[in-house]
Structure 1
Amino acid sequence: MTYNPLLEMLRSRADGEITGIPSICSSHPLVIEAALREGIANKTPVLIEATCNQVNQDGGYTGMTPSGFRLYVEQIANKVGFDLKNLFLGGDHLGPNPWKDLPATEAMEKADILISQYVKAGFVKIHLDTSMACADDHAPLSDTTIAERSARLARVSENAASGLKPVYIIGTEVPIPGGAMEALDHLEVTSPDAAIATYEAHRSAFVKLKLEDAFSRVIGLVVQPGVEFGNENVVYYNPTAATELSAALKQIPGIVFEAHSTDYQPTSALSSLVKDGFAILKVGPGVTFAMREALYGLDQIAGFLDQLGKADSLAEKLEQLMLAHPQHWQKYYPGNADAQRLQRHFSYSDRIRYYWPTDAATKAVDSLLSRLENRDLPEPLISQFLPKVYPLFATQKQKPTAQTLIIEMIRLVIHDYEIACRRA
């Protein structure tokens, strides 16, 4: 296999270097652009991942197939001048989850097609996730069943690959995608025995299908290091609580742990995660949360400059959109009407991200940006409503555009990951 930043990371760690890689889990074009611009600035590869619900053979909630997603990301890369040799795509939670309401036989047939399309589209990092029970399964599934189904998908992947073959991530001990619904104060860290049992179950299942070569490319195991975020709070990484789990890597050499839901962790916590072996750091809602902060800040600036009322604000337009189409937030945001209104806009779970691609939200954002286009945004207003990025521009003679401010807000988040993952 030619250069792959994940394999390079493993080699570096084997040589004693503390290094990791961030995984950007978002399909929003501004997030992707920000990630690529950060990669250009740091001269580092960029890993962007799509989930099975987001991108699949039926279009997912983005309307994109795996090949369509690749083309979409590459178009953004070409626009910003990012070298495609440094762009790597991953598939997250690939398995029967989008079709789990079907019997297992049918759902796994769909998953076969999913895996095949991702690999044929050139995705080089494949997370095999068959942990979910299908319509005729008895929940929870056993480690053996999960591993056997994962090995089946690995065989499909190997047969679909032409030339370069992907690396694999196994394991499924992660929280609810997009954050927990309840308030949290701590989490149970994966036990070392559970991590090792998952690894061994998969090794055995791969061997039974004569997939030893594929298993040699299993580079990561998903575990719970004790990080998560709820709607209004974050559980921060506690290295002491994860000491035994981290030490378990000595018994399964040649891999690292993959940490999900690392959003909103401070740089110090991200650095500790990488040091302790949780070297693949996934971030999703955290970057779209920053984008929303930027958009709402610009909305405040535009409202002040144009003396517009509440009805004309971006926030109000999104409020009406979310109320009219509550399926993406209603069952995730508990509490009374006031609590739900707060969460719709400001929850760390950031389920507002599902609304940005809609025609109504796109029109509202385009309207906001067009109002600010070709205008000098007053420094005091940037300081007031976008204080996180104000220092980046305060000393520059050329004032930033509205879109630049959005990109830089997102880059601030991604930069923390780059700092944490950079070689010591």
Structure 2
Amino acid sequence: MSRALPSLVGERLTDGALGVTSVCTAHPMVIEAALLQGARDGRRVLIEATCNQVNQDGGYTGMTPADFRAFVEAIAARTGFDPARVILGGDHLGPSPWKHLPAEDAMRRARTMIEAYARAGFAKLHLDASMGCAGESAALPDEVVAERAAALAEVAEAARPEGQEPVYVIGTEVPTPGGAQHALDSLSVTRPEAALRTVDVHRQAFRAKGLDAAFARAIGVVVQPGVEFGNAEVVAYRPDEARELVASLALMPGFVFEAHSTDYQPAAALGALVRDGFAILKVGPWLTFALREALYGLDAIAAALDPARAADGLPATMEALMLEAPENWRAHYQGSAEDLRFQRHFSFSDRIRYYWAQPKAQAAVERLFASLGDRVIPEPLVGQYLGALQPAVADGALAARPRDLVIAAVQRVLSVYDRACRAG
């Protein structure tokens, strides 16, 4: 049985559905796909940036929060989607990008970051100060985490535009975001008492700073429901293992759970998550994984149509880029040279997503689209290299043109989430 949502969640996020998909990406084609689907379905779209993607220093995208807003709104204008129906969120906002520094310095930078997010009108702010900084243990006491989160909320409240009241999400998942870097046989569901304590200590920390009104807009708690993905494996949600955690929601009026790392979950598992009160489902790597699948499929189609261009293929360009700058994948992948090459291109963790914005990658993608033009791809080649899209092409629901096929590949994933959020 699906749970009734707190009114603030329904009003701000879900458009009357049981849940909402949080699209965590900075890739323009993924954002375009999400906005086109939102326009088609007549609903708002929640798009989130992480502290490492977007911050006052530019993050790995080179964008500040204000830049990211302008970036998304430009895509919305291009696709005919009303920018007022875009909900922007900030994820894991805290000292994480600077945790190698002493806590005072890292928190000073975190405060600057969340001020930039709030000033840019981001409506959903996930406060996460759970990580230890230089000289601290990796796991901090709950009171310290909550005190730092409240300090960030204090800055956000002072910086937010007049008339705008952001909602807050607190807590964090274990393991850290972006996919597990270890075997997944030790994954533990958050204990209910830990979730309840997270809410309690944050309430006290907010109150100590006179932020009761801000805490009244805290709507979500990030917990670990027992879902995760690694390089080649996925741990699916098992409702029986999360029963006690789910029952604890009854003791947190006004809150829902936010589930991270839900990428690659089966449709039934996503529906069960929503029914059990995980009303905010975050997805990121699966979307860019689907994008990469489609682009590589188009590259194979281009080679089939013109074998002479095979040596100039997209996978070769991406391999060269990843080898030139291994810092975005080296700590996340292990094994032999063959294992590493496989993981660079095909890992569920999708570390290749950090390279698509590089000029050489963008040029390679544009060459691919230019080589194919606006031609209709022969259906046998769609079936051979983009097989999941072939039924939609066959029944006339999807035009077999290159860009349309890439957008549709991303929307196939988003549709799984949309169905889960609407039906539970």
- Structure 1-normalised TM-score? 0.95
Mapped to 2, the partners of 1:398 and 1:203 lie a distance apart of: 49
Determine the C-alpha separation between the residues in 1 that align with 2:239 and 2:26.
31
Q: Structure 2: which amino acid aligns with 1:46? A: V
2:351 alignment partner in structure 1: 351
Alpha-carbon deviation of 1:183? 3.3
Output the amino acid matched with 1:404: D
Q: Which residue is 2:415 aligned to?
A: 415
In the alignment, is the contact (CA less than 8 A) between 1:257 and 1:279 conserved in 2? yes
Alpha-carbon offset, residue 309 of structure 1:
6.1
Q: How does 1:294-309 map to 2 (within 5 A)?
A: 294-308=294-308
Partner SS, residue 388 of structure 2:
coil
Supply the distance in 2 between the matched residues of 1:113 and 1:352 (Cα, whole angstroms). Answer: 29
Alpha-carbon displacement from aligned partner over 1:387-410 (angstroms, at most 9, x marks no partner): 111112213298432011000000
Q: State the secondary structure of the residue aligned to 1:389.
A: helix
> What is the match of residue 383 of structure 1?
383
Q: CA deviation at 1:185?
A: 4.0
| Runs of 5+ consecutive residues of structure 1 not aligned to the other structure | none
Structure 1 position 174, deviation (Å): 3.3
2:361 aligned partner: 361
Counterpart of 2:153 in structure 1 is 154
Residue-by-residue CA offset, 1:355-392 (whole Å, 9 max, x unaligned)? 11001111111111100013231110011110111112
Distance 1:12 1:55, change over 3 A: closer
CA–CA distance in structure 2, aligned partners of residues 13 and 80 of structure 1:
21
Alpha-carbon distance in structure 1 between the residues aligned to 2:322 and 2:232: 19
In the TM superposition, 1:212-291 aligns within 5 A as: 212-291=212-291
Paired residues of 1:116 and 1:156 also in contact (CA < 8 A): yes
Question: How far did residue 55 of structure 1 move?
Answer: 0.4
Amino acid across the alignment from 2:374: N
> 2:8–2:219: 8 Å Cα contact kept in structure 1?
no
Equivalent residues of 1:13, 1:19 under 8 A apart: no
Q: Is the partner of 1:419 in helix, strand or coil?
A: helix
Residue 18 of structure 2: aligned partner: 19
Written as runs of structure 1 = structure 2, the 5 A alignment for 1:32-181 is 32-161=31-160, 162-181=162-181
Q: CA RMSD in A?
A: 1.9
SS in 2 for 1:92: strand
- CA 1:409/1:186 → structure 2, altered by over 3 Å: closer, same or farther? farther
Aligned residues of 1:285 and 1:350 also touching (Cα < 8 A) = yes
Three-state SS of the structure 1 residue aligned to 2:269 is helix
**Is 303-312 or 336-345 further displaced after alignment?**
303-312
Residue 80 to residue 7, structure 1, CA distance change in 2 (3 Å)? farther
The separation in 2 between residues aligned to 1:380 and 1:111, in whole angstroms, is 52
CA deviation map 1:273-297 (0-9, x unaligned)? 0000111000000000000000010
Instruction: State whether residues 256 and 278 of structure 2, in contact with CA within 8 Å, keep that contact through their aligned partners in structure 1.
Output: yes
CA distance in 1, matches of 2:10, 2:376: 47
- Deviations 1:95-125 (CA, angstroms, capped at 9, x unpaired): 1111112111111111111111101101000
Distance 1:84 1:423, change over 3 A: farther
Displacement, 1:7? 5.2
Aligned length: 418
User: Partners in 2 of 1:137 and 1:241 — Cα distance?
Assistant: 32
Q: Distance in 2 between the 1:188 and 1:174 partners?
A: 8
| Alignment partner, residue 29 of structure 2 | 30
Q: Structure 1 residues 399, 220: CA separation in 2 closer, same or farther (over 3 Å shift)?
A: closer
Distance 2:375 2:13 in 1: 48
Mapped contact 1:174–1:222 kept (Cα < 8 A):
no
Structure 1 residue 72 displacement after superposition: 0.3
Partners of 2:6 and 2:255 within 8 A in 1: no
Which consecutive residues of structure 2, in runs of 5 or more, have no partner in the other structure?
none
Amino acid at match of 2:135: D
Give the letter for the 1:25 counterpart.
Answer: C
d(CA) in 2 for partners of 1:329, 1:201:
36
**What's the counterpart of residue 208 of structure 2?**
208
**Number of the residue aligned with 1:319:** 319
CA distance in 2 between partners of 1:242 and 1:128 (Å): 24
TM normalised by structure 2 equals 0.95
